[in-house]
Every structure is written in C-alpha cells, then in structure tokens.
Amino acid sequence: MIRSPRVTLAEAVRHPRSFDLALLIIAIATVCSAGFLLTRVGQLAALDQQVRQLESFGATVDDNAYDELRRLVPYRPLISAAIIVIGWPIAWLLIARAVWWFGNRREAAASGPRTQPGFAQVLTVVVHASAILALRALVAAPINYARESLGGATSLSMVMPAFAESSFPARLLGAVDVFVVWWVVLVAMGLAMLYQTRTLPIARWLFGAYAGGAAALALTQVLRGGL
C-alpha cells in the first residue's frame, strides 16, 4: 500500500479478502497504543491529555477531578486496546456499508441497472487502505514518547505550528491527521477502480466529509474554550 497502492488495490478488488489484513492492522495499532500507555511517560502523557481536553471544552479541572483522572490512568491501556479491537472493525463496517449503499445508488441512477460492486469489495478497499493507519501507529509511538505527549504526533499542526494553540487555525490543523488524509486518498483510489470512474470526484466527497468533521470539532473547541 505504500510503494504500489494502485497495484495492491487492484489485486484486492479482484480477490476480496480483508480478514487477515484487518487482524494484522489491529494487532500493530493495539501493541503500539497500549504499549506506549503502559510506560511511565505514556501514563503522564495520557493524564495531561485528559486535562487539556477537558480544559479545551471549557471545563475546570480542580483537585478532585484531577485525582479522579489519575485513578483512571492505569486503565487507559485496556481502554485504548478495546477501542481499537472493537471500534475499528465496527467503523470499517459502517464506513463500507455507507459507501457501498451511496455508491451503488448513484451508479444505478447514472447508468441504469448493471453489475455493481459487492459489499465485500468495498470493505476490502476500506481495510486495505487502513494499512496506512498501522504505519501511523508505528510512527506516532516513538514521536509521542520523545515529546512526552499523547495525540497530534501526525497532525498538520506538527508540520505547520505557526498559529496560537487556542486559535481556530491551530485547532483545525490539529484535527487533520496526515495519515488519515493518506487513507482518504487510498480509499478514493480503490473506489474509483470499483466504480470505474475518476479518483478526484470521489476524493472530493471524502475530503469534504473529513474536513467538515475536523472544522466542526475545531470550532466547538474554540467556542467552548472562550466561554
């Protein structure tokens, strides 16, 4: 997926199979995430992240709230692992289902009845593109350890840190992950093969949805932080 994404996706589309790769992606992401949170650095970074997240939404973290957050720190590796092991497959299924339903409806409306891609093919594209998220986990873990921080290691704010931390541009850049952008490009490429169309129109739809979600999150944080 890194060196020859088009060839890999074309082969995946011809022979839909995603279970083995899904297990590998989940295993890598789980080990990297939970492993970091098991370290002393990771535990302090997790605590600091929780405090900053609450404060970014306008909450005041007093001594009692801080002690409560500290009691949750030992459980963070298990929580993180559960989110990946349970949440990622569910997310893949939901994304693939939505894309398959929407894509087939548009295809039927545009060109009439014909053989349409199956759900397994769409799911295969989504899972194969997610191999980039395993790479993201491998890259983010040492960066987070070196920064003694959790989150944002592969966001655009790391590349363009010119804005004030609490400003909307900074929040927006922090909400956009470089590897997720890469994932969107790969999904658009695979779907273009499935539906025999150009990659750019599909990428526009996917990037629009991703950018809209990132902007909404950034705006919410800025507004709540100013209250």
Contact 219/168 with Cβ under 8 angstroms? yes
Per-residue pLDDT of the chain (227 residues; tens, 9 = 90+): 888 888 999 898 888 888 999 999 999 999 999 999 999 999 999 888 888 877 766 677 778 888 888 898 889 999 999 999 999 999 999 999 999 988 888 766 665 545 678 899 999 999 999 999 999 999 999 999 998 888 778 887 776 665 656 666 777 777 788 899 999 999 999 999 888 888 888 888 888 888 888 778 777 766 665 54
Contact 133/29 with Cβ under 8 angstroms? yes
The tally of domains found in the chain comes to 1
pLDDT of the residue at 91: 95
pLDDT in tens, 93-139: 999 999 998 888 876 666 554 567 889 999 999 999 999 999 999 99
- The residues, ordered by sequence, that sit 6+ positions from 8 with a Cβ below 8 Å of its Cβ are 1, 128
Number of H helices, E strands in the chain: 12, 0
Between the alpha carbon of residue 205 and those of residues 5, 30, 116, 201, 219, the distances in Å are: 20, 30, 20, 7, 21
pLDDT of the residue at 227: 47
pLDDT of the residue at 103: 82
Phi-psi region of 114 (alpha: psi -120 to 50; beta: other; left: phi over 0): beta
Determine the structural domain holding residue 194 and report its residue range. 5-225
Tell me if residue 177 falls in helix, strand or coil.
strand
